[in-house]
Amino acid sequence: MTGYVVFGHGSRVESANQAVRDIAGRMAASQQYVVEAAFLELGQPDLAGATARLLSRGATRIVVIPYFLTLGTHLQRDLPRLVQDVARQNGNIEMQVTSPLDGHPALLEALLDRASQAEACAKKTE
């Protein structure tokens, strides 16, 4: 079974961390995936903790989905190192990292939706 980790940066603002946990829960509910949220810093669980949870639920392979808009230093340097360390700590379990959200066609739809909402609010105040 494949387990999925929605991997966010983490924030001192707990509601931001909870938003990542919430989207991971919605992902799990919508497709019946086995999903955990994890954070690079400032949030719990970290990648090792989320991986342990997935392994305890029967996962034999882990796919990490970065909940980041663009490829930056954390995704180029930090996440590969973390994945390598966590895989090694768990008997070299197979771990894969997907691309960040940048470039996904749904992002354009999200931006257009936000623009439409802004236009509707502006018309209400005219």
Chain segment 1-39, per-residue pLDDT in tens? 999 999 999 999 999 999 999 999 999 999 889 999 999
Single-letter amino acid, residue 8: G
Q: Is residue 109 part of a domain?
A: no
Contacts of 107 (CB under 8 A, 6+ apart): 69, 101
Cα-flanking dihedrals φ and ψ of residue 119, to 5°? -65, -40
Q: Which domain holds residue 74?
A: 2-101
Tokens read off for 78? 């930090």
Q: What is the pLDDT of residue 72?
A: 83
Structurally, how many domains does the chain consist of? Answer: 1
pTM: 0.89
Assign residue 18 the CATH number of its domain. Answer: 3.40.50.1400
Residue 118's pLDDT is what? 94
- pLDDT per position as a tens digit, 81-97: 999 999 999 999 999 99
Q: Look at residue 115 and tell me if it is in a domain.
A: no
* Assigned domain for 77 exists: yes
- Please report how the helices 47-56 and 79-89 are oriented relative to each other, as an axis angle in degrees rounded to 10: 40
**Residues 67, 36: contact at Cβ < 8 Å?**
no
